Amino acid sequence: MTRTMRVDRRSFLKVSAGAAGGLLVGFYVHRDARADTAAFRPNGYVRIDADGTVTLWSKNPDMGQGIKTSLAMMIAEELDVDWQAVRVEQAQLNREWYGGQGAGGSDGTPSDGPLGQRAGAVARAMLMAAAAKRWSVEASSCETARGVVHHRATGRSARYGELAAEAAAIAVPREVPPLKDPRRHTILGTRVGGVDVPKIVVGEPIFGLDARMPGMLYAVIEKCPVHGGRPVHVDAAAALAVPGVTRVVTIDGHRNPTWLKPGVAVVAGSTWAALKGREALRVTWDEGAGRDESSGSLSARFRELAATPGKVLGDQGDVVGAFDAARTKVDAVYEAPFLAHATLEPQNCVAHVHDGRCDILGPLQMPTSGAQVVAAILDIPRESVSVRMTRIGGGFGRRLTSDYAAEAAFVSRAVGAPVQVVWSREDDLRHDYYRPAGLHHVRAGLDAGGRLSVWHHHLVNVSRNRYRLGDTPPESTEIYGLMAPPFADPKKQFDNDFQPTLIPHCRLEYTEASTSVPTGALRAPSHNFNAFVIESILDELAHEGGVDPVALRLSYLGAAADFPYEGDNQAPYRPERLKRVLTLAAEKAGWGTPLPKGRGRGIAAHFTFGSYAAEVAEVSVDAQKRLRVHRVVAVIDVGRPVNPLNLEAQTEGGIIDGLSAAMFGEITIERGRTVQSSFEDYRLLRNRDAPEVEVHIVPGTEHPTGFGEIALPPLAPAVANAIFAASGIRVRRLPLAASGFRVSP
């Protein structure tokens, strides 16, 4: 496999960060020239005021994953301050201070965390140097605790605030001082509540949609109901007659539809007037080539393409002969629907284009790439775009594209005023960048000894990489978890999902299907369905072959081994860590103990983004296919946990998100249009149907990895496998509702 085939979201982030210049060496040499000289601000992460106030900045935006709190904890630990005394702020986009900024790929903790740790350690060293200078002692004879520098030998001490002005005059050390021994951690590993929670519970206006600029107008945008269509004629008269409506602006869109889609904006003095104005708008559309597409036609196309071999991405052994010879065989087709992200905060952004510049204020998940997109749309230098990030009302991958910021910038330039673009819920569900739909055809088998011997996997789907006009092949973002490690060289970088080289006979094929339906990444991209297929097939094989599902997994994962894993800070992939979470989950869930009739347990495990998870679901199914998920036991291994309180939250949330999507999640297409339009027909799980969740955290010692995504992939297969155990019904297509399952009425 070539390097370019492996470019995924995480690699993209790293490249962005690297291209932004000198991230690792340059990040701490920039001082805030505007700062009060009495304040100590050695880098973009830390500021200590003379009055003792400690302010820490999170370089990445928070959309509920808790990174604003976690990154601050990592800085505070090395700065050695009292967590109670810390104030945490959201950083703005600042290349000099932070390099690339954005949230994705569960990468904040493993990759950005260490930058904050170093920033904290540097600041602490400078405070110690300042104290040493004041006392005419060696800096190495000083120590710190809870925001105070001590010199034990002479019994002297000084609070950080007292040293701020002197520390500001100390030269930045050339080398980052050593980080704390984790055994001395006082903040990391403790249960810390989210830093924005006190603001959230009193309704402070901290979200994107709450952002305001003086003189701001509001805009809503009508888009062609058929995906890929564009406006050809606009009759704006009736819209302009609505009180409050000031302008109607046609948006041509960009060649890359993840940058800017075509549409017609109605601009008004209030959100309500803009919404009313849009109702009166008359647009004639060129519906384009997509108007004949439907979910039915796409599904038929997937089946047709699956009938002929795809592009072979990897092949070892003799899959045909081994499948013939297998004692236990499964030959099955699994189908994935399009999914919407449905962030509860609809897309929105404020932009102000003025004097050749653009100021962006909104819920940007990817401020660095967002600024690039805005600059390209306006044809101004990237340096002329400023970005302030608000708190984000949910991401789930939707805001990896910054189209809503580009829209706001385009409309602001057209009307010459600050503009907030607001999407309605209908806009959000009908014009999302959906999780790709697809079909997996798998032939797999066990040999006479009950061991996994053959795996022949053909994925047919629409490629989100094709849609975003990426320069990597379409298969790389869809099946990447299945491709690696490269067959020819198992010692090369290991990627995600699954270990095909552990199976003697294995072939992976990919076929791309074209579509006009917009696609993009959704939480745990590719993993969110690949895991369903893989872990369900393993379960099918186990039941078919009379092997325990846990034992089958433990046997194919094989002996202890280290596989190099992507990323600078990543521990190697170790199958034994996956085996440990599997074993623990089985134990905690009472695997193998009897259950009443109509109840069943299912297990599934997954590895991605450096993290490991196994989940056991316990469900009951009655004769009317009424499903109740009683309990989910999850075991998570993310190395040394930064904030267990948040890790539990993300695990509970990932499980409920996974169950919501498995139960209801499906976007369907008719006549080229998205059928669903609100939460009535795009259902989410409600409180009454949420299972009890029991989270067990493996006390790891590895460098911490992210956990915003890992809990999601194993959930759907764990539930589907439990449904089989309870009812004998094998689910090969999601959502469950489409197969007649239902939860509470």
Smallest distance from other proteins to CB 135, Å: 32
Smallest distance from other proteins to CB 481, Å: 23
- Our CB check for other proteins shows the closer of 141 and 678 to be 678
Smallest distance from other proteins to CB 608, Å: 19
Smallest distance from other proteins to CB 70, Å: 13
Q: Judged by CB under 8 A, does residue 618 bind other proteins?
A: no
Smallest distance from other proteins to CB 687, Å: 4
Q: How deeply is 638 buried, as exposed, middle or buried, from its count of CB atoms within 10 A (0-12, 13-18, 19+)?
A: buried
Q: Judged by CB under 8 A, does residue 45 bind other proteins?
A: no
The DSSP call for residue 92 is P
- The CA angle 83-87-92, to the nearest 5 degrees, is 130
Q: Which residues in the 169-228 window bind other proteins by CB under 8 A?
A: 190-194, 196-198, 200-205, 207, 209-210, 218
- Our CB check for other proteins shows the closer of 541 and 663 to be 663
Smallest distance from other proteins to CB 213, Å: 13
Cα 668 from chain centroid (whole Å): 23
Give the span between the Cα atoms of 270 and 277, in whole angstroms.
11
Q: Judged by CB under 8 A, does residue 65 bind other proteins?
A: yes
Smallest distance from other proteins to CB 569, Å: 25
Q: Judged by CB under 8 A, does residue 699 bind other proteins?
A: no
Cα–Cα distance list, 212 to 160, 520, 581 (Å): 36, 29, 47
Give the span between the Cα atoms of 550 and 388, in whole angstroms.
48
Smallest distance from other proteins to CB 90, Å: 13
Helix axes 527-545, 715-727, angle to 10 degrees: 30
- Our CB check for other proteins shows the closer of 9 and 391 to be 391
Span near other proteins by CB under 8 A; candidates 8-16, 27-35, 171-179, 655-663: 655-663
Structure tokens at 304: 């047709």
Binding-residue pattern over the window 230 to 249 for other proteins, x denoting contact by CB under 8 A: -------------x------
If you count them, how many residues does the chain have?
745
Give the span between the Cα atoms of 111 and 99, in whole angstroms.
12
Smallest distance from other proteins to CB 610, Å: 21
Span near other proteins by CB under 8 A; candidates 439-447, 467-475, 673-681, 720-728: 673-681
Give the span between the Cα atoms of 314 and 273, in whole angstroms.
56
Q: Judged by CB under 8 A, does residue 624 bind other proteins?
A: no
Give the span between the Cα atoms of 533 and 681, in whole angstroms.
26
Q: Judged by CB under 8 A, does residue 64 bind other proteins?
A: yes
Structure tokens at 169: 């005059």
Q: How deeply is 388 buried, as exposed, middle or buried, from its count of CB atoms within 10 A (0-12, 13-18, 19+)?
A: middle
Smallest distance from other proteins to CB 138, Å: 34
- Of the candidates 392, 459, 636, 662, which one interacts with other proteins according to CB under 8 A? 392
**Beta carbons within 10 angstroms of residue 745's beta carbon:** 4
Helix axes 160-168, 113-135, angle to 10 degrees: 90
Q: Judged by CB under 8 A, does residue 635 bind other proteins?
A: no
Helix axes 549-557, 527-545, angle to 10 degrees: 110
The DSSP call for residue 642 is S
Span near other proteins by CB under 8 A; candidates 255-263, 343-351, 556-564, 588-596: 343-351
- Of the candidates 692, 728, 729, 740, which one interacts with other proteins according to CB under 8 A? 692
The residues near 203 (Cβ < 8 Å, ≥ 6 apart) are none
Span near other proteins by CB under 8 A; candidates 20-28, 390-398, 542-550, 728-736: 390-398
Strand ranges across the sheet with 54-58: 46-48, 54-58, 86-90
Q: Judged by CB under 8 A, does residue 668 bind other proteins?
A: no
Interaction site with other proteins (CB under 8 A): 63-66, 83-84, 190-194, 196-198, 200-205, 207, 209-210, 218, 243, 270-272, 342-346, 391-396, 422, 424-425, 645-646, 648-650, 652-657, 660, 678-680, 684-690, 692-693
